[in-house]
Structure 1
């Protein structure tokens, strides 16, 4: 069961819609949580959170044909608190609107991706990005109104965090422990790289953009590895996941960056250079495939300085000079034209 599935189960429990088996599952897990003696919240925070949760749970119980026993209400309160649904407490008016908020929860969460030993929930309530440094040296720049949950200590096999919202990740390389970002219906897995994730609750899509390194993105579903819906992304590539259609679509980022800078600026200055050589230089710099579809273009030559221009501007400049045009299909650029005479 992933985090999304468990959240849905909690909502069914609070609404009184669980089957006996599902209710037993929730109560069994919550009983395990109650055995955790650590409580990092202050006394005032505990009382305020308990009051808010209690009012919410009693209101939910009144929608049923009978009233939940107080023991189940108490257990449910603990489950909601530990699962992260109770972070609304940290959004209350008592917190200044422009201060980033971090909640330290000590109980072991119900479902993966979290490891035992406690975890931290950080929400950025400021208008500026909030940098979070994990114990392995990974730095995460959390965007406005975004929520990050991560273990205090990663286990020996992997490093797992959960994100709701947007963030830029600069992951510390560790070949023995892959880094996994859970964003509802998608998992992003890397060894060490930098990338951006956009996964907002009410958005229709989830997007992952790669800046450097390679990233594996796949659906967070229980199925065999052979049938898993996923893709490998390289630098300057992105993946868009349609939550409704359950479809992954690969593409390029809006403004590709140079991945392998030329050793000399003169390498992007061309004088009567055959077009295939020019396109090859751009392909190497951006690590993006650029294909000439028209054999007649191979006889064309290009003269110009492509330094300090965006990739789209460079391609437009080249195409105008050789009477051609370009088109982006997926993650590849195609150049075509009538040729030079």
Structure 2
């Protein structure tokens, strides 16, 4: 017998301590030996009560009722704890996996096909957006960007036609890739400018911070801060330059126009996008001139007056049209 009969007798006579009573009740409810002992005791007491109800050697009705209530309560508590532990053992891992799955799903497109969104910034406007990973993007006028609603589990990829400045949130496990025509720029956490208008002859990437890799076809070109990559889409030539002030290239995001020895043809393209106007070159020889100018974005007429001070080229503004002549 696992539990001493003296302890059982003290419990029955209500002279036992709380610990002893708890031990006996647990033994009665959780062991085969205890349950058999309790059954024998009840059978014996039932016989004694039938033989001599006044003998005083059996449980009183009050004692029997109290003992049964205590045993029944301990059995129910023990069963509840067992069920709770079993349910927790099953539910906790499931809830953890569901929570992890929801987090991954909210941050990536791991559990579904990639759904893309597209944003176009018309001429005369610019914009600033944030992706779900915290990456900040400035979009210049006449720019289109295509991006997934949720980045992939391994990569963060966007598609650009136009000009954009990227402040990429660091994530060493998920490179950020900017695709532009048949080129790509891959970074981990970097600040850089990409000029890749489909109608332009060149694609230019200027790196302000961090490291990046410019790829065209099968060739990769690593870049360091302060460098500019220029890829000629017609000739296939790729050139690397060191810039003294690389941040000047992205001054457009601060509403500053920046030209440095820029041919008039490129100046015209930039101004057309910024002001949503059309230039008409009436004197082709005017395209031989280049311009160097840094200025806060002005009214169009004020800007044209500034350009006229740099070279002997005249600009006549009428409606949405600008006529260029010598």
TM-score interval, smaller chain = 0.3 to 0.5
After TM superposition, the score normalised by the length of structure 2 is 0.40
Quick check: which one's helix share is greater?
2
After TM superposition, the score normalised by the length of structure 1 is 0.39
